[in-house]
Structure 1
């Protein structure tokens, strides 16, 4: 306890908080749930936070330490603060929905392991082109209504686009707490009954 009281505050704490708020706001974008069929449940919202966090942390860890050693340290520290903030938010959310103190730690550990598994899967799928399958196995796995192929394809296209956009974001933007995402795409194709899909109003 004394160690925690006198522990030095990270110089990137507020920056990480600004990044996290932007990330969570996008993960709660109604279009993800209404247009792309992501389940509007605790699991679905968790998966959207994980997906966006995985994209951001992948970009923040992309600095080559051999080419830019002076750039890596601040960004790596900020990335760790951002990840830690997500873990603390998981803890808080579990307590708010009534998970007992004795079980919170175990649940957070499970969710953390799930994050690493998903982040690894997304990284490989973005590289290998198998993202639709991975999304079906993660984001949509507990959906009470199976998503249409066009919805899965649209979510995959969104993640690919955002990964590419983040690759072009300068380190200085992250270090200033600036993080933006593009709009959620509208699925292309017909609905299950064969009628043309209408864009949401």
Structure 2
């Protein structure tokens, strides 16, 4: 009985690593930083990773226990990754919890706002939210329209995925180049 538990955890670890790797690889696509107006900075990368994580979490919100369990493990990996990155940037041990609390608040605020915009299929409000979070409160949201469109198309793509794809950590995302090819 105990041995089965450990082998299941090891199997989950591989699934979590694979799926989180796909999420981070998607968020690091150069086109987001070269053509979609996301600054190639530590915070810009946090914003893109958050956006992709939010797309994944929206999909898994409708999953069964297996998909929801995987989502929780991926959220844990996400925050461990952020914690590691903060420490790598030289933030002292005493300041890490305070920074983590702030970043977690930022992430969950974005999750709520982006999810509402995606649910309503409100491209303009999603563009505004992205502009305010990625640039500043008074930023021109027109620059974020392509990114908002990409998020909506990925939301549609993810909603069509079979549950077994989610539970086995095989979720993939459309990259902007593939969207442009489909439109042509």
Distance 2:134 2:13 in 1: 29
Q: Counterparts in 2 of 1:51-62, with a 5 A limit?
A: 51-62=51-62
**What residue number does 1:106 align with?**
98
Distance 1:127 1:80 in 2: 21
Alignment deviations for residues 139-192 of structure 1 (CA, whole Å, 9 cap, x no partner): 22289xx6672x311111000000000001112112222122212159x9xxxx
Alignment deviations for residues 70-119 of structure 1 (CA, whole Å, 9 cap, x no partner): xx221111110000000000010011110111111111111111110000
| Greater radius of gyration (CA) | 1
Instruction: Return 5+ residue gaps in structure 1 as ranges.
Output: 1-6, 64-71, 189-201
**Is 1:163 the counterpart of 2:161 in the alignment?**
no
**Is 1:120 the counterpart of 2:112 in the alignment?**
yes
Q: Which has the higher contact order (CA 8 A, sep 6+)?
A: 1
Q: CA RMSD in A?
A: 2.4
Q: Runs in 1 of length 4+ with deviation above 3 angstroms?
A: 7-11
Q: Counterparts in 2 of 1:71-110, with a 5 A limit?
A: 72-110=64-102
**What residue number does 1:131 align with?**
126
Do the aligned residues in 2 keep the contact of 1:173 with 1:179 (CA within 8 Å)? yes
**What residue number does 2:41 align with?**
41
